[in-house]
Amino acid sequence: MSEASRRFIAGLALFLAAGAGIGWLYGHPDWGLLVAALVALVWQARKLLSFERALRTGVFKAFRYGEGIWEQLLSRFRFEHERGTRYKKSHRTLLREVRKSTNAMPDGAVILDANNEIIACNRAAKRLAGLKRKKDRGQRVDNILRDPALTALLQSDDYKSTVEMMSPVTDGAWMNCRVVPYGADQKLLLLRDITERTRLSKMRRDFVANASHELRSPLTVISGYLDGLADDEDMPPAWKRPVTQMRKQAARMRQILSELLELSRLESAGPAKMDQHVDVHDLIVEAVEALGGHANTAIVTVEAESIAKLHGNAAEIETVIVNLLANALRYTPPDGEITVSWRSGTDGADLTVADTGEGIDPEFIPRLTERFFRVDRGRRHDEGSIGLGLAIVKHILARHDAELIITSETGVGSVFRCHFSPDRVVIEPPVSLAGGG
């Protein structure tokens, strides 16, 4: 109990006792007590009313210097009130500073609740994505930024992947979207401006495509003359070897140019269309018939566990199979084995090419799909090797919402698995021969 409370109780008790004492002098202690109690009640009621007035009006003069319990109460209240005001002010200043700094950020930041509704966003989010802090508060962000990939990212718990999309408000601007968990049940959608990077990579793509295209015509002319020379029976024998070499290198250059053009095409194309049903099993059988079965090559086995078809581009899937199989044949000795398999399940479908060849050092595996990357440029297989095959495979798979998973062990063999997501896989019901009877 505080000093003021103790003094209040003691004063009240003393006052009531004095009332009762005076009453007793007149022969009515009970009357004396009652009168004292009434006086105390009226006194406290007055204090209560002026206390309430002081709180309501903010004028504390009546209580300024007193020592009683009401004065104590009021001074406590004023202390807490002033502290609250101070806190509020400092929080407001802090909030203003945070808002100023987030507005100064070149990247967009959008705070979302558990339903992906906008709680707040900064100025860059307005510039990049057209989001308005006040008008769009409470709106679902995927209703404003309409992109299926972004919607999927927002619905998943994937906080590592990113989605690139065109800005809906600034012409030619591109942004990279990423979601990070934030606070309790909130998310932060980060929008990074990648316009410059996208412009540079488009410039590079266009340059490679144009250069490849321009080089094709002179190379065709050179190849034509070389072919003519090779067919010329009067050619001096000393020229035979150089001409053969030149024809070989010209053919290699033609292949490089056509693969570079194919890569450029794949890079600028969007996702593969969903209207074709690709019979992967048939393509595997055709590729194995075309490439396998030669003397001095490993034996190729086909394992088709699935009749599932694929939504996608048949010519591109054929390129994937041919590239992976050609690699397996190139890097597997004749006494080795190669298995090409096709399986499907609820998790999607897998096209796998496994070999018992020389394998790949784990440190090189992440780099295999880079353009012109070859594990060992001095190897004997380098004749037909360019280093663009797996880059093409990766791009084709990306267009088919699939990924390439490579596992390998040196001296044991390699497995190249193409994993397709379930919405790319079609299981057609078997055709009934009963004719409806």
In the complex with ligand ADP, the residue whose CB is nearer, 102 or 319, is 319
Of the listed pieces 2-10, 188-196, 300-308, 388-396, which binds ligand ADP according to CB under 6 A?
388-396
Q: Who contacts 423 (Cβ-Cβ below 8 Å, separation ≥6)?
A: 311, 401
Q: Rule CB under 6 A: is residue 292 a binding residue for ligand ADP?
A: no
Q: Who contacts 298 (Cβ-Cβ below 8 Å, separation ≥6)?
A: 328, 329, 332, 333, 334, 335, 336, 337, 338, 355, 356, 357
> Distance between CA 193 and CA 170 in Å, rounded?
11
Closest distance to ligand ADP from the beta carbon of 330 (Å): 6
Q: How distant, in Å, are the alpha carbons of 7, 66, 232 from that of 16? A: 14, 22, 137
Size of residue set near ligand ADP by CB under 6 A:
20
Q: How distant, in Å, are the alpha carbons of 9, 17, 25, 37, 147 from that of 32? A: 19, 9, 9, 9, 86
- Rule CB under 6 A: choose which of 19, 23, 292, 387 binds ligand ADP: 387
Q: Rule CB under 6 A: is residue 351 a binding residue for ligand ADP?
A: no
Q: CA geometry: angle at 126 spanning 91 and 180, to 5°? A: 70
In the complex with ligand ADP, the residue whose CB is nearer, 72 or 356, is 356
In the complex with ligand ADP, the residue whose CB is nearer, 77 or 373, is 373
Q: Any idea which residue has 């053969």 for tokens?
A: 244
In the complex with ligand ADP, the residue whose CB is nearer, 195 or 410, is 410
Closest distance to ligand ADP from the beta carbon of 153 (Å): 30
Closest distance to ligand ADP from the beta carbon of 298 (Å): 11
Instruction: Report which residue's Cβ sits closest to ligand ADP.
Output: 389
In the complex with ligand ADP, the residue whose CB is nearer, 334 or 345, is 334
**In terms of Cα–Cα distance, which of 422, 384, 427, 430 is closest to 400?**
422
Residues 402-421 that bind ligand ADP (CB under 6 A): 414
The residue type found at 362 is P
Of the listed pieces 190-198, 267-275, 343-351, 389-397, which binds ligand ADP according to CB under 6 A?
389-397
**In terms of Cα–Cα distance, which of 323, 324, 334, 322 is closest to 297?**
334
> Distance between CA 240 and CA 435 in Å, rounded?
66
The stretches of 182-313 forming alpha helices (DSSP H) are 195-231, 237-268, 280-291
The distance in angstroms from the start CA to the end CA of the chain is 96
Q: Any idea which residue has 């679902």 for tokens?
A: 140
Of the listed pieces 101-109, 191-199, 223-231, 351-359, which binds ligand ADP according to CB under 6 A?
351-359
| Binding flags for ligand ADP, 305-344, as an x/- string (CB under 6 A) | ------------------x---xx--x-------------
Closest distance to ligand ADP from the beta carbon of 387 (Å): 4
In the complex with ligand ADP, the residue whose CB is nearer, 111 or 360, is 360
In the complex with ligand ADP, the residue whose CB is nearer, 154 or 325, is 325
**In terms of Cα–Cα distance, which of 423, 413, 245 is closest to 339?**
413
Strands (E) located in 20-88: none
Q: Who contacts 117 (Cβ-Cβ below 8 Å, separation ≥6)?
A: 138, 139, 140, 141
In the complex with ligand ADP, the residue whose CB is nearer, 72 or 319, is 319
Q: Rule CB under 6 A: is residue 350 a binding residue for ligand ADP?
A: no
| Binding flags for ligand ADP, 355-384, as an x/- string (CB under 6 A) | x-xx-x-------x----xxx---------
Where does this chain bind ligand ADP (CB under 6 A)?
323, 327-328, 331, 355, 357-358, 360, 368, 373-375, 385-391, 414
